[in-house]
Structure 1
């Protein structure tokens, strides 16, 4: 049975971009959010082989440390012609300095090395919501599109090189509101993280808290 989320929650991230997006998505529901980074929690080793496994590792580490419900996102860019890479290693391609310009350059270099002309890709987001008693919820979202020359300085990570299907601008050229593309009444979103969050909201946010 799905469990409603109320009160305070820990967002198990040290990534300022993810934290900003999560707070924007939670805002309409009256949920107070504090991040693992703000609490000074250590980052657990992400030893999973799937997005959902790594999200669960982060969420459970945060809920154990705080005694509060916690949710974590593990997400990444999967490029078809690179056999799904960088995938769960998306953040690691940017290195310890979070050099996503270098990570994007690496994608193009590897595509060129393979002589690949296919530019199809998709973003994946796995959201895991965990409680101190071990109860866990998992929600996923995907958005498909094409790899293009990086454009725009909004968003974060690989946003500048990803143009979602049906759009002429990259995520890096969209405002946060446009990138989320959330329509609560229709129950849909545009970005991978928004799509996963809409699924979470439908199941775990109480009707009185909804828009």
Structure 2
């Protein structure tokens, strides 16, 4: 059973390939590029929408994994949340979203505030559907530091650290990230399904 990742996000694909020992193929390598409308109201529902869409196009020989993730700030009532990838608008870059959140913090007069990342990983195969979650807590700051990672990483300082994810080595991030936490829960499910 081939494992396909239902994302067009190159940063997520790189992280999944790095974290998974199995060969992971991007759906676009098999089906070409196309957009999937994510109109769910939770990370889990959006992850399932993506995984189901790709699974329906590929069929039973595939196990499809998708991730929906984002950053939430309690001071902003949980925003950007499920809108993290389009916080600054549709068709924007990661940097646009990052600087929009920095600008929002500055407008509120906040230099640092608690925040957390959520990752929901959906797994869809002929044997059923599964969703697991992972979280990473810390603080966001009103500036970008470092050029590693992607998305909001340059402004997020994980709990217990004094550097942003943009400054930390990939090996550290791989151990503590929300996606890594969710993947730890997803891996036994993936192995079970592959063994059937």
TM-score with structure 1 setting the length: 0.83
Q: How many residues align?
A: 189
Q: What is the rounded CA distance, in whole Å, between the counterparts of 2:55 and 2:84 in structure 1?
A: 25
Structure 2 CA distance for partners of 1:17 and 1:197, relative to 1, 3 Å: same
Counterpart-to-counterpart distance in 2, 1:117 and 1:174:
20
Q: What is the Cα deviation at residue 46 of structure 1?
A: 0.3
Match of 2:40 among 37, 48, 68: 48
CA RMSD of aligned residues (A): 1.9
Matched, 1:200 2:186: yes
Aligned to 1:4: none
Q: Is 2:149–2:166's contact at 8 Å kept on the other side of the alignment?
A: yes
- For residues 23 and 98 of structure 1, do their structure 2 counterparts lie closer, same or farther at Cα, with a shift above 3 Å needed? farther
Structure-2-length-normalised TM-score: 0.89
d(CA) in 2 for partners of 1:178, 1:58: 28
The gaps in structure 2 that reach 5 residues or longer are none
Unaligned 5+ runs, structure 1: 1-6, 182-189
Map of 1:191 onto structure 2: 177
Post-superposition offset of 1:95 = 4.2
* Contact 2:153–2:164 under 8 Å retained in 1: yes
Distance 2:89 2:172 in 1: 28
Q: Which secondary structure does the structure 2 equivalent of 1:168 belong to?
A: coil
Q: Provide closer, same or farther for how the CA distance between residues 16 and 196 of structure 1 changes in structure 2, counting only shifts above 3 A.
A: same
Structure 1 residue 17: deviation in Å?
Answer: 0.4
Matches of 1:120 and 1:46, distance apart in 2? 27
Partner SS, residue 43 of structure 1: coil
- Secondary structure class of the residue paired with 2:4: strand
Task: Please show how residues 1-40 of structure 1 align to structure 2 within 5 Å.
Answer: 7-27=1-21, 31-39=22-30, 40=32
Picking from 103, 111, 115, the partner of 1:109 is 103
- Inter-partner Cα distance in structure 2 for 1:115 and 1:151: 19
Higher strand share: 2
Residues 1:205 and 1:134: Cα distance change in structure 2 (over 3 Å): closer
Shift in alpha-carbon separation, 1:174–1:117, aligned structure 2, 3 A: closer
Contact 2:150–2:166 under 8 Å retained in 1: yes
Aligned to 2:134: 141
Indicate the residue corresponding to 1:120 in structure 2.
Answer: 114
* Alignment-derived partner of residue 75 in structure 2: 81
